Amino acid sequence: MAGILRLRTVTLMASIFPERITVVDVTPGLGLVETQSAELFTPDRPLRMAGGAELTSVTVAYETYGELNAAKDNAVIVCHALTGDAHAAGWHDGDKRPGWWSTLIGPGKAIDTNRWFVISPNLLGGCQGTTGPSSVNPATGHVYGLDFPLLQVRDFVTVHRALLEHLGISRLHAAVGGSLGGMQVLQWALDFPDQLDQAIVIAASAGLTAQNIAFSAVAREAIMLDENFLGGRFAEQGKNPDIGLAVARMMAHITYLSEDAFTEKFGRAPQGATSDPGFGVDFAVESYLRHQGETFVSRFDALTYLYLSRVMDYFDPFGDATPPQISPQGPKILVVSFDSDWRFATEHSLRIVKQLAARGAGVSFRQIHSPWGHDSFLLDVPDYLDTIRAFVEAEVSTGRALRPDLRRIASQVPRGSRVLDLGCGEGELLRHLARQGCVVTGVERDGAAMVEAIRAGVPVLGLDLDTQLDEFADGSFDVVILSRTLQAVMQPAEVLRQMSRIGDHLIVSMPNFAYWPHRLRLMSGDMPRSSDLPYRWYDTPNLHYATLASLEALFDSLGLVTEKRYALSPSGRSVGAGANLRASSAIYVLASSRGS
């Protein structure tokens, strides 16, 4: 068996952005890391695969970083993507390159190996130490080739769980993975939610699009049409489908980077100074791609490429007729996408979020701005790394004193309610409500505020109120809150309509344009300003003003019934009669048509 173990270095990150390696702190604290190996399934205890087949011998290559603590509650597993090996962090002793996820994992990194015990296995079906289609089939003594059973993402989870058992670990603090790795984490969270405190799903998909499948299909065609593929039996005849595999890799590689990343890296620079125009390597980008194709052939197996790409095509974890519920006490889930990723664009992550939310899971979501495309998850993108760290290290904070208006809003929310706070900021109100037994979700667009909410253990979704509220299912919350935000959205009526669809009760607060000092300001020819409307007319987040009377007219026209109204002075005190004149803002508790 050892003869077919090919422990090669796959420094994907280094191969994509070699020049960026120098700016990454390459985890000197870990030093050289040795790849270990475990035989997890044997004839006595075969691997029963999701598709029905059995494997009587499965060896897994893996590495670990950090120390397992006595309570065994600090373990984090890394699920790898299409081309990663077991070497996620530290230095590899082969060519002295850092592991492929050294941006994320190491001493002091976002996943801090001084605190967490990190486990990084190579995948079933792989070609870098774990049993796969180029391993020898013990039943025949020959390489499996295309006789290796088709994989499902569940099979990866089965093998990962066997590795945990082998290591004596019953429960994980977190499972984390990008792309194909994120699919494994998602499947794990759905099938074995009690085994995970946290699940981190990065740049992944729960259902490839036709275009996604098309790219992989062409890559597989290139491999299988290669004259040296020989029906998958190439190894036995001492051949390799080099050309097909190189073309496949070149093409796939284009999809891993954004167009801007290519432009920044290469532009239209020629390759070499004196090249004659022709059909060779005229442009730098051509040289780079050819290099990618050639080096890939030397470290990756054509059969593994077929199996690991095909498993993604079929992944459809939410396709079941009866979707299982996930307890809010189940794993906290973080979904991350990158705005320049066009391989698995943000829409893929949003679909995952929507499906998880519909099953009751506590989900956070953030789209990270990064120019690099799909491979951003491997790169040094500070907003991304900060978000992961805040999530992994989140602790429920002790209470701070709430602002008076938020205190008043909190007093209107029944204990145990499902609460959605639109524009939740750092989540102060939701932390308070969570302590009161509410099941809370926030929506916030500001990245820094989101990270603080995540750090405080509040599930928060980075969505746009004007365009993305249809992510929430009808009646999925008891109370939907919009505090001092209605005036800043583009379409106030539409936002209220969506809130009414989503929740039984709404709590809305808004400044009052007809507050008497505003009237006096305009009467004297000036634009109204006050502590509730502090901005200059041309430099303000506020796009729509309303008097309390005109706001209430809109509520009426939308069928929203005012159950309570708190008209407030600038200091937050209640105002009695004459609210439209005397109140600088008001809080409304409204019953939606669904709630009334």
Strand, helix or coil for residue 212 = helix
Catalytic residue among 15, 120, 135, 179: 179
**In terms of C-beta density within 10 A (0-12 exposed, 13-18 middle, 19 or more buried), how is residue 7 classed?**
middle
- Binding to a second copy by residue 445, rule CB under 8 A? no
**CA separation (Å) from 493 to 199, 377, 509?**
36, 38, 14
- Binding to a second copy by residue 225, rule CB under 8 A? yes
Site for a second copy in 261-290 (CB under 8 A): 262-263, 265-268, 277-279, 282-286, 289-290
- Binding to a second copy by residue 1, rule CB under 8 A? no
Site for a second copy in 552-581 (CB under 8 A): 554, 580-581
- Binding to a second copy by residue 513, rule CB under 8 A? yes
Instruction: Characterize 506-530 residue by residue with b for buried, 16 or more Cβ atoms within 10 angstroms of its Cβ, and e for exposed.
Output: bbbbbbbbbbeebeebeeeeeebeb
Site for a second copy in 529-548 (CB under 8 A): 536-540, 543-547
Q: Is 341 a catalytic residue?
A: yes
Which of 88, 172, 201, 247 forms a contact with a second copy (CB under 8 A)? Answer: 247
- In this structure, the chain runs to a length of 596
Strand, helix or coil for residue 275 = coil
Q: Is 569 a catalytic residue?
A: no
Give the nearer residue to a second copy in terms of CB position, either 419 or 546. Answer: 546
366 CB contacts (<8 Å, ≥6 apart)? 334, 335, 336, 337, 387, 447, 450, 454, 462
- Binding to a second copy by residue 259, rule CB under 8 A? yes
Total binding residues for a second copy by CB under 8 A? 80
525 CB contacts (<8 Å, ≥6 apart)? none
Give the nearer residue to a second copy in terms of CB position, either 70 or 273. Answer: 273
How near is the Cβ of 204 to a second copy at its closest, in Å? 16
Q: Is 374 a catalytic residue?
A: yes
Give the nearer residue to a second copy in terms of CB position, either 135 or 580. Answer: 580
Give the nearer residue to a second copy in terms of CB position, either 273 or 538. Answer: 538
Which of 148, 215, 377, 384 forms a contact with a second copy (CB under 8 A)? Answer: 215
Q: Where are the alpha helices (DSSP H) in 456-491?
A: none
Which of 523, 571, 576, 577 forms a contact with a second copy (CB under 8 A)? Answer: 523
- Binding to a second copy by residue 342, rule CB under 8 A? yes
| Residue 113 · residue 105 · CB < 8 Å | yes
For tokens 């992989």, the residue is: 216
In angstroms, the CA 446 to CA 422 distance is 12
Which of 1, 32, 448, 522 forms a contact with a second copy (CB under 8 A)? Answer: 522
In angstroms, the CA 88 to CA 142 distance is 31
Site for a second copy in 451-510 (CB under 8 A): 491-493
In angstroms, the CA 322 to CA 550 distance is 46
Which of 4, 24, 213, 385 forms a contact with a second copy (CB under 8 A)? Answer: 213
Q: Which residues pair with 562 in a beta bridge?
A: 590
Q: Which residues are catalytic?
A: 179, 341, 374
